């Protein structure tokens, strides 16, 4: 453990914070004892969803509310989680952006296992199920679990604390010693403005520091669009600040914390891919609803959209989770590939379609079980449970019909979890208990006949009550006066019992009011014109003897359904596990259908740091164009790596042809910027499930961001350089544009050379550029650097019908001199990658195709030729008159004579006459006295 500057022992805080959409908060820390006498030290904390606090904090402090904070619905199928983690050894903070979390809290459990916290704190607004997960983990590890207030996890406060760090607010180029010496050398400031200016030079302008921090934040982590992560970071910094003030007796605020770096949190066996990469590669694409009055979205043209044909709610959620956190485990990936390959067999297609149809009949069973436990299960929920048991049995039969699938892991797991006895028992007991027809008519769960004798007796009385009421009505009519009412009815109301319904009489509308017979009691008046309800004493006797039938029936049915629920919930764990495996099968069937529809091939996974693609295609581009041209790619990670690749085909020419690409960095040049961008994204999408991807393919601009488009590009490249490893894949699409060409080209070369200097730890890099000057003057020479140069082929057709292909096979730019661009020529982009670099962008030909006038393109071509020959000054001679041109020629002649004059001392002294005379003679000017 490194020591601090002061000699006394001090506590190190090792903390991590996790935040979810329900603001689940936690804090992780480590305990440390000092040598010598033992002393009590505060324990570290992990705050799930917020920050870190000391236990001495006043619990009764008034909670701060933010108008921008909105209470989120506690649904973990759509919930999100974020975290922050502090390493006291390297003084590094690790952050995890807002990420969707599933109902099993797998991401939360993975972080807890990876961080091994001593103390876990959670928000008072955290989800109860998440609290159970945290409590169980801490009980098993011997740690402490506490519930803390929610007030420290406001994202705006977290952002302010984060921007106050010296790591972000102070630029490294500023030299404090020089500023101090400058201030000390001046005896006194002459005015207040000069004083404030020098004070800002020493301490820094707070506004400028905050602006610098907001700009540099994206260099370390993309958390601007992650409110949960910002809340976690803010709470973590708040706790570290308080803990440092208590242990070191120094209160310098957040700016006094020693944090040297901020990095994304890498989770084991999970691909590291940020939100910018997901957006650039079009993994997800949300389209707005057609109606402007709806805020709902739908999946547009995206990789998830073309691969997702799942039938179940759990299947869709699981597939989205796979896309957001792809597995890096070869065992898991190969198991999925085996399943897809088995489902693609021609003799298994019918079984696959049948299984997908059975999955379509399965509802969200975990949600139904939760509704049962809370007593809110509806008739549709019970029907969904029976359908699940029915379709699960049919699904098991379809699994047994698969050919050569005994080795597939998902098949073995499904056959194990779909137990025939259990499923039949569940289906039979529900179907034999619930009366579906009566339940549908009544709008509640009703029980069948012959299930309970007491219930059957109550229903028998209730169903025959019409005849009883008719007899009672006849008896009542015989006992009342003839002039009291011409008609009456005896009715039964649940909760009110048996009543006599008498029509409203005109005299009852007077001041005397309603006349009540002796032995009767007035019960209720619904409306003036509606009949009034009375209860004679003998109907009260019926209430006593017969009872309130309807509530008694409902209560008894509730008791029977409760017993049925207890029988079902015994199998809750097994049912949920079966649903999870069925969701995985749903995703794999979707992959198989997409593979069959788009003619995908199974990749061969390997631990070697190699990308070897044959006839690769862009999964999105090929479905929106008439013709798509596939391309090969072969790239080896590590600049000094030499990997031997097995060639399945006995084609030595192909192996020799691909020798030129055995490098870590590939640069694509020349024309067809669209084709180069498609080529980059194609490689990334193909490697999506196998490699870590960090991209700078597309700039995400927003008026709410302080950075310009070029600054956003720099942030993305900085993030990639900081976090890339030798197994990473970095895509750079036209990096350097948006600023001066010289500066952009310099940055482009600097990034590539920085990566090459890593040697064996150089990541795999594919870059495209239009900076053709960097290939001259040996700036990026293929003869000196291990860089592979390729370009996109272009087909040129002249007006005479001659066709030539721009295919720069070597690094010499003179190879393209035979390709002349005439006025009648047209250009066709072939989208085919070829060896070598190209110095032609064919922009003039492309401009002609899109309607730019000939005089403009001819002028542009002439200027380009002058620039290539470094004769741009000829443009100044075009508008000169004959007299001006003659005068310029004479001046040039004079300059040449003057420059040719020998000014050595011997030559000057040997000349007869004065120097002035010699100058006049050389310049052919008359001599004057």
Q: What's the CATH number where 800 sits?
A: 3.40.50.300
Within this chain, do residues 152 and 235 fall inside the same structural domain, yes or no? yes
* Interval 23-48 mean pLDDT: 36
Among 379-388, 709-718, 869-878, which is the least confidently predicted range? 869-878
* Interval 186-194 mean pLDDT: 51
Higher pLDDT among residues 658 and 718, named by residue: 718
Among 626-630, 675-679, 706-710, which is the least confidently predicted range? 706-710
Nearest C-alpha neighbor of 405 from the set 360, 358, 331, 340: 340
Please check whether residue 47 lies inside any domain of the structure: no
Q: Give the per-residue pLDDT at 583.
A: 94
Within this chain, do residues 251 and 359 fall inside the same structural domain, yes or no? no
**Residue 356 pLDDT exceeds 90:** yes
Q: Give the per-residue pLDDT at 385.
A: 95
Higher pLDDT among residues 856 and 176, named by residue: 856
Among 142-151, 198-207, 666-675, which is the least confidently predicted range? 198-207
**Residue 490 pLDDT exceeds 60:** yes
Please check whether residue 230 lies inside any domain of the structure: yes
Please check whether residue 243 lies inside any domain of the structure: yes
**Residue 68 pLDDT exceeds 50:** no
The tokens describing 269, both together, are 């066996």
**Residue 8 pLDDT exceeds 70:** no
Higher pLDDT among residues 540 and 25, named by residue: 540
Among 48-62, 312-326, 912-926, which is the least confidently predicted range? 48-62
Within this chain, do residues 704 and 794 fall inside the same structural domain, yes or no? yes
Within this chain, do residues 552 and 571 fall inside the same structural domain, yes or no? no
Within this chain, do residues 688 and 801 fall inside the same structural domain, yes or no? yes
**Residue 48 pLDDT exceeds 50:** no
**Residue 366 pLDDT exceeds 80:** yes
Within this chain, do residues 285 and 378 fall inside the same structural domain, yes or no? yes
Report the half-sphere exposure of 647 (CA within 13 A, side-chain side).
Answer: 13
Within this chain, do residues 258 and 156 fall inside the same structural domain, yes or no? yes
- Residue 86 CB-density burial (10 A; 0-12 exposed, 13-18 middle, 19+ buried): buried
Q: Give the per-residue pLDDT at 171.
A: 67
800: confidence class by pLDDT, cuts 50, 70, 90: low
DSSP string for residues in 773-842: GGGSTTSS-TTTSSEEEEEEEEEEE-TTS-EEEE---SS-GGGGTT----TT-EEEEEEEEEES------
761: confidence class by pLDDT, cuts 50, 70, 90: confident
Please check whether residue 46 lies inside any domain of the structure: no
Within this chain, do residues 358 and 253 fall inside the same structural domain, yes or no? no
Please check whether residue 475 lies inside any domain of the structure: yes
**Residue 377 pLDDT exceeds 80:** yes
pLDDT single digits (tens) 382-438: 999 999 999 999 999 999 999 989 899 999 999 999 999 999 999 999 999 999 999
Q: Give the per-residue pLDDT at 96.
A: 82
Please check whether residue 51 lies inside any domain of the structure: no
Q: Give the per-residue pLDDT at 706.
A: 56
**Residue 577 pLDDT exceeds 90:** yes
**Residue 841 pLDDT exceeds 80:** no
Runs of H (alpha helix) within 308-348: 313-324, 330-343
Q: Give the per-residue pLDDT at 782.
A: 67
Please check whether residue 17 lies inside any domain of the structure: no
Within this chain, do residues 147 and 258 fall inside the same structural domain, yes or no? yes
Q: Give the per-residue pLDDT at 859.
A: 87
Domain boundary pick from 264, 289, 313: 264
Q: What does each C-alpha distance from 607 to 331, 666, 691, 727, 729 come to in angstroms? A: 11, 21, 11, 10, 15
The length of the chain is: 929
Range of the domain at 892: 888-923
Q: What's the CATH number where 346 sits?
A: 1.10.1420.10
CA quadruple 833, 838, 843, 848: dihedral sign:
negative
Within this chain, do residues 572 and 626 fall inside the same structural domain, yes or no? no
Tell me the C-alpha distance between 28 and 913, whole Å: 96
First to last CA, the chain: 91
Mean pLDDT of the chain: 75
* Interval 698-724 mean pLDDT: 71
Within this chain, do residues 490 and 553 fall inside the same structural domain, yes or no? yes
Query: Beta strands of 101-184 (E only): which ranges?
Result: 119-123, 144-148
Among 766-770, 906-910, 915-919, which is the least confidently predicted range? 906-910
Q: Give the per-residue pLDDT at 297.
A: 77
CB atoms within 10 A of CB 182: 12
635-661 exposure pattern, b = at least 16 Cβ within 10 A, e = fewer: bbbbbebeeeeeeeeeeeeeeeebeeb
Q: What does each C-alpha distance from 802 to 820, 839, 844 come to in angstroms? A: 11, 22, 19
Count of structural domains, the chain:
5
Tell me the C-alpha distance between 18 and 21, whole Å: 10
803: confidence class by pLDDT, cuts 50, 70, 90: low
Residue percentage of the chain with pLDDT more than 90? 17
* Interval 45-49 mean pLDDT: 37
pLDDT single digits (tens) 499-548: 888 887 777 766 667 777 777 877 766 555 566 666 776 677 676 666 67
Indicate yes or no: pTM above 0.95. no
Higher pLDDT among residues 330 and 6, named by residue: 330
**Residue 887 pLDDT exceeds 90:** no
Query: Of the ranges 20-29, 126-135, 202-211, 269-278, which is most confident?
Result: 126-135
**694 phi and psi, to 5 degrees?**
-125, 120
pLDDT single digits (tens) 295-333: 777 888 899 999 999 999 999 989 988 888 888 888 888
3 state DSSP class of 392? helix
Query: Of the ranges 113-122, 275-284, 407-416, 876-885, which is most confident?
Result: 407-416
Within this chain, do residues 239 and 90 fall inside the same structural domain, yes or no? yes
Q: Give the per-residue pLDDT at 708.
A: 73
Among 199-208, 216-225, 274-283, 321-330, which is the least confidently predicted range? 199-208
**Residue 771 pLDDT exceeds 90:** no
Q: What does each C-alpha distance from 913 to 785, 904, 905, 908, 916 come to in angstroms? A: 63, 16, 14, 10, 8
Q: For residues 633 and 657, is the Cβ–Cβ distance under 8 A?
A: no
Q: Give the per-residue pLDDT at 801.
A: 52
Q: Give the per-residue pLDDT at 246.
A: 75
Please check whether residue 430 lies inside any domain of the structure: yes
Q: What's the CATH number where 225 sits?
A: 3.30.420.110
* Interval 328-348 mean pLDDT: 90
């Amino acid at each position: 453990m490194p020591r601090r500057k002061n000699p006394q022992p001090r506590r190190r805080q090792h903390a991590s914070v996790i935040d979810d959409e329900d603001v689940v908060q936690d804090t992780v820390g480590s305990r440390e004892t000092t040598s010598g006498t033992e002393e009590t030290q505060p324990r570290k904390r992990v705050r799930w969803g917020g920050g870190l606090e000391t236990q001495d904090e006043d619990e009764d402090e008034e909670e701060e509310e933010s108008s921008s904070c909105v209470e989120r619905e506690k649904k973990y199928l759509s919930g999100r989680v974020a975290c922050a983690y502090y390493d006291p050894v390297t003084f590094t903070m690790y952050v995890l952006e807002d990420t969707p979390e599933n109902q099993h809290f797998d991401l939360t459990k993975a972080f807890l296992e990876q961080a091994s916290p001593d103390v876990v704190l959670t928000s008072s607004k955290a989800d109860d199920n998440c609290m159970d997960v945290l409590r169980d983990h801490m009980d098993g590890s011997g740690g402490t679990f506490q519930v803390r207030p929610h007030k420290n996890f406001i994202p705006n406060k977290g952002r302010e604390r984060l921007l106050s760090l010296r790591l972000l607010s102070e630029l490294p180029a500023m030299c404090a010693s020089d500023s101090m010496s400058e201030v000390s050398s001046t005896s006194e400031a002459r005015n207040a403005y000069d004083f404030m200016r020098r004070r800002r030079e020493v301490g820094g302008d707070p506004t400028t520091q905050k602006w610098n921090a907001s700009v540099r934040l994206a260099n370390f982590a993309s958390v601007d669009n992650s409110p949960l992560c910002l809340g976690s970071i803010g709470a973590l910094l708040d706790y570290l600040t308080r803990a440092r003030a208590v242990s070191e007796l120094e209160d310098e605020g957040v700016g006094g914390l020693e944090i040297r770096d901020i990095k994304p949190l890498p989770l084991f066996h999970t691909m590291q891919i940020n939100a910018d990469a997901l957006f650039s590669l079009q993994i997800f694409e949300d389209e707005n609803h057609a109606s402007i009055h709806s805020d709902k979205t739908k999946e547009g043209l995206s990789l998830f959209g073309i691969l997702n044909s799942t039938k179940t709610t759990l299947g869709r959620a699981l597939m989205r989770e796979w896309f957001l956190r792809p597995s890096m485990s070869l065992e898991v990936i190969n198991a999925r590939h085996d399943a897809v390959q088995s489902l693609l067999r021609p003799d298994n297609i019918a079984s696959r379609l049948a299984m997908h149809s059975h999955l379509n009949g399965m509802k969200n069973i975990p949600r139904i079980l939760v509704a049962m436990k809370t007593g809110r299960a509806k008739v549709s929920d019970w029907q969904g449970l029976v359908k699940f048991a029915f379709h699960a049995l049919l699904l098991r039969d379809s699994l047994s019909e698969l050919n050569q699938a005994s080795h597939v892991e998902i098949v073995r797991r499904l056959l194990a979890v779909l137990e025939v006895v259990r499923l039949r028992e569940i289906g039979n007991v529900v179907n034999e208990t619930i009366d579906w027809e009566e339940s549908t008519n009544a709008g509640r769960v009703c029980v069948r006949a012959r299930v309970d004798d007491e219930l059957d007796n109550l229903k028998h009385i209730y169903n025959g009550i019409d005849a009883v009421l008719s007899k009672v009505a006849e008896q009542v009519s015989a006992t009342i006066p003839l002039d009291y009412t011409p008609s009456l009815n005896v009715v039964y109301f649940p909760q009110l019992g048996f009543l006599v319904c008498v029509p409203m009489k005109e005299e009852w509308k007077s001041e005397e009011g309603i006349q009540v017979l002796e032995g009767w009691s007035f019960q209720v008046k619904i409306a003036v014109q509606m009949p009034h309800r009375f209860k004679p004493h003998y109907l009260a006797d019926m209430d006593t003897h017969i009872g309130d039938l309807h509530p008694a029936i409902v209560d008894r049915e509730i008791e029977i359904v409760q017993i049925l629920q207890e029988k079902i919930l015994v199998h809750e764990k097994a049912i949920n596990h079966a649903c999870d495996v069925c969701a995985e099968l749903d995703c794999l069937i979707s992959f198989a259908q997409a593979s069959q529809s788009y003619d995908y091939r199974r990749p061969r996974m390997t631990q070697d740091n190699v990308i070897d693609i044959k006839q690769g295609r862009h999964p999105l581009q090929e479905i929106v164009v008439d013709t798509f041209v596939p391309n090969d790619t072969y790239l080896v990670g590590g600049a000094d790596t030499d990997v031997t690749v097995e060639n399945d085909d006995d084609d030595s020419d192909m192996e020799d042809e691909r020798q030129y690409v055995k490098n870590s960095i590939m640069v694509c040049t020349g024309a067809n910027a669209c084709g180069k961008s498609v080529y980059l994204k194609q490689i990334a999408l193909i490697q999506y499930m196998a490699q870590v991807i960090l991209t700078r393919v597309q700039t995400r601009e927003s008026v709410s961001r302080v950075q310009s488009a070029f600054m956003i590009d720099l942030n993305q490249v900085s993030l990639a350089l900081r976090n890339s490893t030798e197994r990473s894949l970095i895509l750079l699409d036209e990096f350097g544009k948006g600023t001066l060409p010289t500066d952009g080209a310099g940055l482009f070369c600097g990034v590539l050379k920085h990566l090459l200097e890593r040697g064996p730890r150089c990541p795999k890099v594919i870059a495209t550029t239009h900076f053709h000057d960097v290939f001259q003057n040996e700036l990026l020479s293929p003869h000196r650097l291990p860089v592979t140069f390729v370009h996109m082929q272009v087909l040129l057709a002249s007006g005479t019908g001659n066709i030539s292909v721009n295919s720069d096979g070597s690094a010499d730019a003179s190879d393209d001199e035979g390709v002349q661009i005439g006025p009648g020529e047209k250009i066709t982009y072939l989208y085919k990658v070829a060896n070598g670099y190209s110095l032609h962008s064919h922009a003039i030909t492309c401009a002609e195709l899109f309607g730019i006038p000939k005089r403009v393109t001819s002028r542009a071509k002439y200027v380009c030729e002058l620039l290539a020959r470094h004769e741009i000054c000829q443009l100044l001679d075009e508008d000169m008159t004959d007299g001006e041109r003659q005068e310029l020629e004479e001046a040039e002649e004079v300059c040449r004579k003057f420059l040719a004059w020998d000014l050595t001392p011997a030559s000057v002294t040997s000349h007869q006459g004065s120097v002035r005379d010699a100058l006049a003679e050389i310049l052919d000017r008359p001599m004057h006295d």
